[in-house]
Amino acid sequence: MAQPTAPGPAPQGSSGDSSHTRAWAVGGTVFAGVVLVVNGLLDILKGITAVASDQIYTGIDDYVFRFNLTAWGWALLAVGVVALAAGLGLLADALWARIVGVTMASLSLLANFLWLPYQPLWAVVSIGLGAWVIWALTANRSVGSSSL
């Protein structure tokens, strides 16, 4: 009669370890796709809001980076559209979306840093989500689609 093995983590190099890592990487990629879709939609809404009215956001006079809010709204709108497309591509498991997703998350980090005086809490949350998306899409590059 075979002795039952104790439950616990599988030894290094076993198939259990590989499937566990793959599950985390796939889950991270799906979550990154969802975050890019949501963040893209929110950037689109922030962009439309800034284009529609310069008075909607509080003006910051002493901030080092001052922008015309209408121009900034158009930039956010463009970033949002591309991020939305990348997020949908990630959910469809496209390799191009992984590359565009890292690029868009990087641009989103920069854009939200510059957006800090207008929406500080949401900018900090977006910066954190952008950093997580970059990690999720680059942590295990061997997992994912090979189609362009």
Mean per-residue pLDDT, 142-146: 48
Task: Give the residue-averaged pLDDT of 79-91.
Answer: 92
Q: Quick one: CA dihedral 106, 37, 117, 132, positive or negative? A: negative
| Highest mean pLDDT out of 28-42, 43-57, 134-148 | 28-42
Enclosing domain of residue 69: 24-138
Residue 4, domain member (yes or no): no
pLDDT band at 102 (very low <50, low <70, confident <90, very high): very high
State residue 6's pLDDT score: 47
Is 33 a member of any domain? yes
Is position 105 within any domain?
Answer: yes
What pLDDT does residue 145 have?
46
**Is residue 97 situated within a structural domain?**
yes
CB atoms < 10 A from the CB of 65, how many?
A: 11
HSE-CB for 56 with a 13 A CA cutoff: 14
Does the residue 7 lie in any domain? no
**Residues ≥6 apart with Cβ < 8 Å to 12:** none
Distances from the Cα of 28 to the Cα of 25, 91, 99, 136, angstroms: 5, 11, 15, 5
Contact residues for 72 (Cβ-Cβ < 8 A; gap 6+):
50, 115
- For residues 15-23, give the mean pLDDT: 60
**Does residue 17 sit within a domain?**
no
Q: Specify if 120 maps to a domain.
A: yes
Report yes or no on 1 lying in a domain.
no
147: which 2 tokens? Answer: 């189609």
pLDDT averaged over every residue in the chain: 76
Give the per-residue pLDDT at 148.
Answer: 42
**Bigger pLDDT: 72 vs 24:** 72
Read off the pLDDT of residues 103-119 as tens digits, 9 standing for 90 and up.
988 988 888 887 777 77
Total domains in the chain come to 1
pLDDT digits (tens, 9 = 90+) for 48-73: 988 887 666 655 666 656 667 788 78
